[in-house]
Structure 1
Amino acid sequence: MPHNVSLINTIAAGLGLALILGFLAIKIRLPALVGYLLAGVIIGPFTPGFVADAEIAAQLSEIGVMLLMFGVGLHFSLDDLLAVRRIALPGALVQIAAATLMGMGLAWWWDWPVGAALVFGLALSVASTVVLLRALETLNLLDSFTGRVAVGWLVVEDLAMVLVLVLLPPLAGVLGGNGGGSADVMTLLKTVGFTLLQVGIFVALMLVVGRRVFPWILWQVTRTASRELFTLCVVAAAVSIAFGAAALFGVSFALGAFFAGMVMRESEFSHRAAEESLPLRDAFAVLFFVSVGMLFDPHVLVERPFQVLAVVAVIVVGKSLAAAALVMLFRYPLQMALTISASLAQIGEFSFILVALGRSLGLLPAEGQSLVLAGALISISINPLIFGASAPLSNWLLKRSAFARKLEQRDDPLAELPMGTHERYLSSQVVLVGYGRVGRRIAAALAEQGLPYVIAEENREIVERLREQGTVAVFGNAAEPSVLIQAHIARARMLVVAVPESMDIRRMIETARTLNPEIEVVVRSHNEEEARLLEQEHAGTVFLGEQELAQAMVRHVLARAARPGSAGAHG
């Protein structure tokens, strides 16, 4: 050919083969991403036949990570991040430390030096952005409290890895590498301080300036009535801000794009922005999995099978147990602990960056890179299966294990109403499930009318704050009968479900109707088909978001249009 078309070759081969193998994977009841990974292996340099450009594929996958994290930011506010900080911050840091020590233990067992062991352990400790978000979206958990904790956990991991990537080069010399940089205490303190300052300035700029500037830009583009320009504005914002964050402030692409989405969320067009970027996000996310497959050398499975199994065990079992134990330590339910641990039972893009840096600094041997890539490929492939097994495993443990039941039912003052709760909150009250944006407005309206209500909320920090304010609240997932029992659902006047999780709504209604057959039920929904099914099942009064918005607008329009003297009125 007269010119280089490696970009076109890579995209065509990657997407085409991913489509075929993803389709076949679904046909044999495997996750589609297994097909995407195999597509990467086939067009990678370690298998015969056509070899795609791995460097180009890696850059395309980075765009996918940017767009995906930008989309998450569009649905994730600063309030959501702060609401889960008390579990996500210590949980992520302790889990990174635990997984790093497990990885270092393996490396020492194999007689690797301390520098190689440290890089290897850190590479096994951090989960993949793309895999986590794909799993949460597939299970409709992204907007749930559990999903927000998982995303917050991921953000803390990303921030920690940014610091690690900055500190490794100056530490390489003392760790046995070829960095040659100074590693005295003052130099390290200056490096850490400068990194934290850079990240702080970036976050401050995004939250103070970005929250005003970027929504305004989106509004100006919207006024042109050009769909192409709107889509271009969204994609340009995601990619440009992510690139600028990395180039100017040393922040990762993923973290930069996430904060870009968070500030763009302030715009009234954020929902449309998420929809417009969805096709591109999906396509580039597929290329991410293809690029991971291209890095994998299948020979490592034959040459070092037991080492590969040990690495997978640390990622899938060790990290999962550490994360589950931490969540349970914070007194959250077993089901949430298993879901969080499943979401973190894999490794991805940051792991690849770490091993590449470790290799360039002379810290990590070549076999270390192969083992990390093998662990990533296998853990990503089986992660959907682990996710799917979390709910059945929780039920099985609660049925078969007295210890699991004891943990679930342990004495927790927030899981019970205080002994001195006034009688007016124990009979003919409204039980309000969820204290998010919708729940807060309902609670405020009930309080204004002097009507008694009890809040059931699965965010422990919110329940603590409500108790301090004198509001009657109980901690836990209302899908569990014990939570509604504590809210005295048997004597309640009404159950109002202000959370969007459709799977749990039916269990809440079943419990409420079993204990109080005459109770009135009010639920919310964002899906028209789901709302119709709930109404057919006589679940109660169902409010569909778009429908209620349309009706409110119709009432306003009719009222204004009918007023004498209104524009267009006759007589």
Structure 2
Amino acid sequence: MFFFTILIILLATKLAGDLSVRLGMPAVVGKLIIGVIIGPAIFSWVENSEIIDELSEIGVLLLMFIAGLETDIDELKRSFKSSTAVAIGGIILPFVGGYLVGTAIGMEPSHVIFLGLLLSATSVSISVQSLKELNMLNSRESTTILGAAILDDILVVILLAFVMSIYSGEEVNLMLVISKKFIFFIIAGLMIWKGAKWFMKWLAPLRVTESVISAGLIVCFLLAFVAEELGVAGIIGAFAAGLAISQTKYKEEVEHKLEPIAYAIFVPIFFVSVGFSVSFEGLGEHLGLIAVLSVIAILTKLLGSGLGARLTGFSTRSSLGIGSGMVSRGEVALIIATIGMESGLLNPDYFTILVIVVILTTLITPFLLKIIFRGQTATREYDDA
């Protein structure tokens, strides 16, 4: 049955991706939608399982690793000011929006704050693929989105730890949480500076088949592991690994050999698995709340992050594009929702509703990016350098 599941996923994603491109949309749109269609929500041709989850996680790690490989570190440094403004704007407005909606529907104060934090999360894995298809992954806009997503992840996790230490009844050492983030970025910085070069120099010459790509993947999974152990999302570790490898002479070879591996099987499974969380059962009475939360989730990120970009020198069009790239909550918000359930900060009655909202933000992101960036030339000049 497992092999049949893989067969259906690969065939469905390739056909859906091709149809999406023919209709003028990024291929990722079709791949996301087909996950809903063939998954439990509609036809149930494929079911989620532990092994699909694991393969999906590899897919998103490889996707972010490739993004890191294709990102210019100098541009990432120059975009720090813009990324910070985008990240902060993309936290404040969604938090306020979530807080107001939660208060209006009568949530407890702690649950209201948690909802605001959940809506403040960002996952740019889908945005990365969309920008890649639009040939804008090396643009100033893309670099700003990636930098903002890293900062967003750090700030939201720290704020979540603070809220849990106050409301959940669990003992959370806030200084420990912050210290672990700091340690991760020291390790990542060392890997980008010298560590990856040392690893590649040591492992690449080994007299075994495909030693270079194997060495690159070792660095990727090492930093992803370290990131998760230190309380940072694994995708941030994978992205940092890509940045590190991009500073070595093996960058082109790793990228050239990795893409066939990633896009042949792992990345398609990730895209389809996003739709597996969707369920339409018993949602009729909650459609109004889903609609309101979805609109709030989309507009607050779009405007909040977009305003941060506009204030740091981007054009209105580019600012809206950056805001669009921050809209997707993806797997980051799903992880936060699960933490909320386990810690008592999220009422189980709202879990499925929020999963649907997260999926909707993920589905709409490629559409927004395509519409806003259609025909635009990548920007590489820095007004705020």
Q: What is the TM-score of this pair, normalised by structure 2?
A: 0.89
* 1:112-191 superposed matches below 5 A: 112-171=107-166, 174=167, 179-182=168-171, 191=173
- The answer on 1:244 being equivalent to 2:167 is no
What is the aligned length?
383
**59-68 vs 213-222, greater mean Cα deviation:** 213-222
Indicate how the Cα distance of structure 1 residues 91 and 371 shifts in structure 2: closer, same or farther if over 3 A, else same.
Answer: same
Indicate how the Cα distance of structure 1 residues 167 and 58 shifts in structure 2: closer, same or farther if over 3 A, else same.
Answer: farther
Deviations 1:265-296 (Å, cap 9, x if unpaired)? 22111122122111233232222221110001
In 2, the alpha carbon distance for the partners of 1:262 and 1:28 equals 34
Deviations 1:505-541 (Å, cap 9, x if unpaired)? xxxxxxxxxxxxxxxxxxxxxxxxxxxxxxxxxxxxx
**79-88 vs 208-217, greater mean Cα deviation:** 208-217
- The answer on 1:22 being equivalent to 2:17 is yes
- The answer on 1:89 being equivalent to 2:84 is yes
- The answer on 1:106 being equivalent to 2:95 is no
Deviation at 1:77, TM superposition (A): 4.8
Deviation at 1:360, TM superposition (A): 1.3
- The answer on 1:389 being equivalent to 2:371 is yes
- Asked if the contact 1:119–1:354 (Cα under 8 Å) also holds between the matched residues in 2, the reply is no
Deviation at 1:393, TM superposition (A): 12
Higher relative contact order (CA 8 A, sep 6+): 2
- Asked if the contact 1:40–1:291 (Cα under 8 Å) also holds between the matched residues in 2, the reply is yes
Q: Secondary structure at the match of 2:384?
A: helix
Indicate how the Cα distance of structure 1 residues 124 and 260 shifts in structure 2: closer, same or farther if over 3 A, else same.
Answer: same
RMSD, aligned CA: 2.8
Q: Which residue of 2 aligns with 1:458?
A: 381
Structure whose CA Rg is larger: 1
Q: Percent identity?
A: 24
Q: Which residue of 1 aligns with 2:8?
A: 13
- The answer on 1:304 being equivalent to 2:227 is no
Which residue, out of 32, 50, 74, partners 2:27?
A: 32
- Asked if the contact 1:103–1:124 (Cα under 8 Å) also holds between the matched residues in 2, the reply is yes
- Asked if the contact 2:71–2:137 (Cα under 8 Å) also holds between the matched residues in 1, the reply is no
- The answer on 1:193 being equivalent to 2:116 is no
- Asked if the contact 2:121–2:329 (Cα under 8 Å) also holds between the matched residues in 1, the reply is yes
Q: Which residue of 2 aligns with 1:218?
A: 200
Q: Secondary structure at the match of 1:181?
A: coil
- Asked if the contact 2:26–2:370 (Cα under 8 Å) also holds between the matched residues in 1, the reply is no
In 1, the alpha carbon distance for the partners of 2:226 and 2:198 equals 19
- Structure number with the higher helix fraction is 2
- Structure number with the higher strand fraction is 1
- Asked if the contact 2:184–2:226 (Cα under 8 Å) also holds between the matched residues in 1, the reply is no
In 2, the alpha carbon distance for the partners of 1:392 and 1:265 equals 28
Deviation at 1:386, TM superposition (A): 1.5
- The answer on 1:60 being equivalent to 2:89 is no
Deviation at 1:81, TM superposition (A): 2.8
- The answer on 1:268 being equivalent to 2:240 is no
Indicate how the Cα distance of structure 1 residues 114 and 393 shifts in structure 2: closer, same or farther if over 3 A, else same.
Answer: farther
In 2, the alpha carbon distance for the partners of 1:232 and 1:213 equals 16
Gaps of 5+ in 2: none
Q: Secondary structure at the match of 1:124?
A: helix
Deviation at 1:372, TM superposition (A): 2.2
* 1:433-448 superposed matches below 5 A: none
- Asked if the contact 1:296–1:374 (Cα under 8 Å) also holds between the matched residues in 2, the reply is yes
Indicate how the Cα distance of structure 1 residues 54 and 343 shifts in structure 2: closer, same or farther if over 3 A, else same.
Answer: same
In 1, the alpha carbon distance for the partners of 2:212 and 2:111 equals 47
* 1:420-431 superposed matches below 5 A: none
Gaps of 5+ in 1: 183-187, 395-433, 435-456, 463-571
In 1, the alpha carbon distance for the partners of 2:111 and 2:273 equals 25
Deviations 1:115-155 (Å, cap 9, x if unpaired)? 22222222222232211101221222221112111111111
In 2, the alpha carbon distance for the partners of 1:169 and 1:275 equals 43
Deviation at 1:225, TM superposition (A): 6.7
- The answer on 1:362 being equivalent to 2:340 is no
In 2, the alpha carbon distance for the partners of 1:23 and 1:70 equals 24
Q: Secondary structure at the match of 2:121?
A: coil
In 1, the alpha carbon distance for the partners of 2:217 and 2:155 equals 27
Deviations 1:14-55 (Å, cap 9, x if unpaired)? 323323433444445554334323433345444454452343
Indicate how the Cα distance of structure 1 residues 120 and 393 shifts in structure 2: closer, same or farther if over 3 A, else same.
Answer: farther
- Asked if the contact 1:63–1:239 (Cα under 8 Å) also holds between the matched residues in 2, the reply is no
- Asked if the contact 1:124–1:351 (Cα under 8 Å) also holds between the matched residues in 2, the reply is yes
- Asked if the contact 1:100–1:121 (Cα under 8 Å) also holds between the matched residues in 2, the reply is yes
Q: Secondary structure at the match of 1:340?
A: helix
